[in-house]
Structure 1
Amino acid sequence: MTHFKLFVTALMLSITAMMACSPNSTENTAEVVTVEGRAGNFLLIKGHGFSEDKHGNKVNFGNVPAQILRADGNTLLVQVPAQAASTVPVVVAVGDNVSNAMLFAYHPKLVAAK
């Protein structure tokens, strides 16, 4: 459980740079954020302009939709969907507004050492 809390804390710190649901501008000077984790992890996305109704938001990891567990105007709590180990863009959409992408690098399943 301690590792889980540390993981969620690290994700929260990593994602504060994401500017969610602001229209994409023609000049993009922001650095792309890459977050790492595994399918099934919980990811807290911070930004602005989210729907407070969790069904009014869409979060996709590549082409795979994530389950949104909680939403308010500034944060979304999602569960990372399963897919092959790779790095995929994560995009948030609220109506016609689409966020800039951040990257999520999937790690293979954890293997216990002897």
Structure 2
Amino acid sequence: MKFRMFVAAIMLLITAMTACSPNQKENTTEVVTGNAGNFLIIKGHGFSEDKNLNKVIFGTVPAQVLRAESNYLLVQVPAQKVATVPVVVTVGENISNAMMFAYHPKLVAASF
């Protein structure tokens, strides 16, 4: 139940991304933010339902695809230095437009 609520909350945070069909429109300048380890739902079309055939790259770091449907992917954000990086999905020879993802710095709890 908690996992479903977490995924639902992430879905509200994520903007739709045009996936895997070449799109001649300009890339969006909107930036999605989060932390390494977060779950991210990428909505679009043209994804393979075989999760191993979808490649999601955050900058130069591949993400783990946890679930794949024809209209969305559930991925886990890979660890990376704090930065804003492009996220690109590849299925076969089809490459999506880039979506920008900004990593939050890790918060450290203070002890008193």
Same fold (TM over 0.5): yes
Q: TM-score, normalised by structure 2?
A: 0.85
1:22 Cα deviation from its structure 2 partner: 1.5
One-letter identity of the residue aligned with 2:87: V
Could you tell me the percent identity over the aligned residues?
68
One-letter identity of the residue aligned with 2:49: E
Extract unaligned runs of 5+ from structure 1: none
Q: Where does structure 1 differ by over 6 angstroms across 4 or more consecutive aligned residues?
A: none
1:105 aligns with 2:91: no
| Residue in 1 that maps onto 2:69 | 72
1:54 Cα deviation from its structure 2 partner: 0.1
| Residue in 2 that maps onto 1:84 | 81
| Residue in 2 that maps onto 1:94 | 91
1:36 aligns with 2:16: no
Superposition RMSD in Å: 2.2
User: Would you say the 8 A contact 2:28–2:99 is kept in 1?
Assistant: no
1:15 Cα deviation from its structure 2 partner: 3.5
1:108 Cα deviation from its structure 2 partner: 1.2
Extract unaligned runs of 5+ from structure 2: none
